[in-house]
Amino acid sequence: MRALLVFFLTAIMVHSLALAHRVNIFAYVDGEEIVAECSYSKSKRVIRGTIQVLEADSGVMLLHGETDEQGMFRFRVPEQARQRGSDLRILLQAGEGHQNEWTVEAAEFMASPPTPVGSQALPVAPNPASQQGDVATLSTAGLTRAEVEEVVNAALDAKLAPIKRAVLERQEKGPGLQEILGGIGWIFGLVGVAAYFKGRPRV
Amino acid sequence: MHISEGVLSPAILGLGAALTAVGTAIGLRRLDYDRLMTVAILAAAFFVGSLIHVPIGPSNAHLILNGLLGAILGWAAFPAILVGLMLQAVLFQYGGITVLGVNTFNMAFPAVLGFYLLRPAMVGSGRARSVAAFCCGALSVAGAGLLTALSLAFTAEGFLRAAQLLFLAHVPVMVVEGVVTVLAVSFLIRVRPEVFSIS
């Protein structure tokens, strides 16, 4: 009896990770890394789902791994993809036949090249359009390219965070009333067609 | 229970599609004019059933309702489930178009089995009816899980692991479906006994 109870309790716990309609994956470039967020719904993350990163055109697997407790998977952009400028296909397998994928285009990570080791101080070219204020100070301060990049990346991350969130939420949104009512309408429409063909002709 | 696009091999997809085509053809042939509305109502119930989340303990489950469809419709469960799944695939992106055949067969075949094995007891009376209806609801879900695991047998996941996960995940659903089927069947037999009169 007790064994049965334990079984049911485990069943219910396991269940919370397992039952879902579909999985979502959303990946973006974060500096030199790519971050993939995997979820069943807004609150349910894919824990320990299998991730494969493939080269989009050739289908060669570049690396693989598992998502963490938050359903996240981070990896450095593979050198091969960077050299050949190929898109990355990120494939998520969440078990029970649930699978989804997301493609990170080469342009997204090629824009942020790897920081060269021991980068020299490259003076930032003064912008002729705006000579006054901060820009002027910046150019004379002799900031390294890496430092400028870091500042810009941080600012962009902060600005783009809500947009990332919006994309994620949009993807995770369940079906709305429109789809549901539309589907029911379809069913009754199909029955109308069936009735038309099956109906007996009136005498 | 909805297997995603791109998981299964073409052979399994083809087999599923062929079996579903046969089942649907039988279902449509046996369907007469008077029962069209019953099929439509149950197809609609199946279509929205997966959106109804039932809280069980700390988590929640959604209904599948294939047992109920089998108990009432018999072979007509095939076309009803096919239409329901197709609309779920197109409108909600659950499952997918290429896996439609496999997914339909996985859910509809246990329903038809339930119809043949348990329907005779369901039109009986009293306790036997309730037990048969409960079993039909619960076992159809279990059967669908088993067939889904079998479909996944040739993927990286393997049969055993998929079967374990699916079974554990669906134990609460089986109980809820059993109860829903008992309630629906006993209600229909009281109010609309003619629904059960045609085989």
Phi, psi of B16 (to 5 degrees): -60, -45
Supply the ipTM of this predicted assembly: 0.75
Nearest C-alpha of chain A: how many angstroms from B59?
A: 5
**Within its chain, how far is the Cα of B5 from the centroid?**
20
pLDDT reported for residue B79: 94
pLDDT reported for residue A201: 65
Enclosing domain of residue B92: 10-196
Q: What is the DSSP string of B103-140?
A: HHHHHHHHHHHHHHHHHHHHTS-HHHHHHHHHHHHHHH
pLDDT reported for residue B190: 86
Distance CA A176, CA B67 (A): 26
The dihedral sign for the CA sequence B171, B177, B178, B179: positive
Residues above pLDDT 90, as percent of chain B = 44
Give domain status of residue B126, yes or no: yes
The predicted model gives B123-137 an average pLDDT of: 87
| Residue B43: CATH number of its domain | 1.10.1760.20
Look over chain A and give the mean of its residue pLDDT values, rounded to a whole number.
74
Cross-chain residue pair B2–A187, CB shorter than 8 Å: no
pLDDT over threshold 60, residue B123: yes
Cross-chain residue pair B7–A97, CB shorter than 8 Å: yes
Residue of A52, A96, A172 to mutate when probing chain B, most B C-beta within 10 A: A96
pLDDT reported for residue B181: 92
Distance CA B160, CA B95 (A): 21
**Within its chain, how far is the Cα of A177 from the centroid?**
26
pLDDT reported for residue B78: 95
CATH 2.60.40.730 segments of chain A: 20-114
The predicted model gives B27-42 an average pLDDT of: 88
Distance CA A156, CA A153 (A): 5
pLDDT in tens, A142-181: 788 888 888 888 888 888 878 877 777 776 666 778 888 8
pLDDT over threshold 90, residue B102: yes
Cross-chain residue pair A174–B51, CB shorter than 8 Å: yes
Give domain status of residue B112, yes or no: yes
Q: Is A126 left (phi over 0), alpha (psi -120 to 50) or beta?
A: beta
pLDDT reported for residue A6: 55
pLDDT over threshold 90, residue B34: no
Nearest C-alpha of chain B: how many angstroms from A70?
A: 18
pLDDT reported for residue A113: 57
pLDDT reported for residue A49: 84
The predicted model gives A29-47 an average pLDDT of: 80
The predicted model gives B136-162 an average pLDDT of: 86
Cross-chain residue pair B8–A15, CB shorter than 8 Å: no
Cross-chain residue pair A183–B58, CB shorter than 8 Å: no
Nearest C-alpha of chain A: how many angstroms from B125?
A: 30
The dihedral sign for the CA sequence B126, B132, B136, B139: positive
Residues above pLDDT 70, as percent of chain A = 69
How many domains are there within chain B? 1
pLDDT reported for residue A82: 83
- A114 or B52, which is more confident: B52
Distance CA B6, CA B4 (A): 6
Q: Would you call A179 an interface residue with chain B, using a CB distance cutoff of 8 Å?
A: yes
Q: Would you call A174 an interface residue with chain B, using a CB distance cutoff of 8 Å?
A: yes
Give domain status of residue B4, yes or no: no
CATH number for the domain running over A20-114: 2.60.40.730
If pLDDT is split at 50, 70 and 90, which confidence band does A16 have? very low
**Within its chain, how far is the Cα of B61 from the centroid?**
15
Give domain status of residue B61, yes or no: yes
pLDDT reported for residue B199: 47
Choose from A14-28, B100-114, B148-162, B182-196 the range with maximum mean pLDDT. B100-114
Rounded (10°) angle between helices B126-151 and B100-122: 160
- A110 or A173, which is more confident: A110
DSSP A129: T
pLDDT over threshold 70, residue A124: no
As given in the structure block, the two tokens for residue A172 are 């995770």
Cross-chain residue pair A188–B155, CB shorter than 8 Å: no
Task: Enumerate the H helices of chain A as residue ranges.
Answer: 2-18, 79-84, 106-110, 134-141, 145-172, 177-198
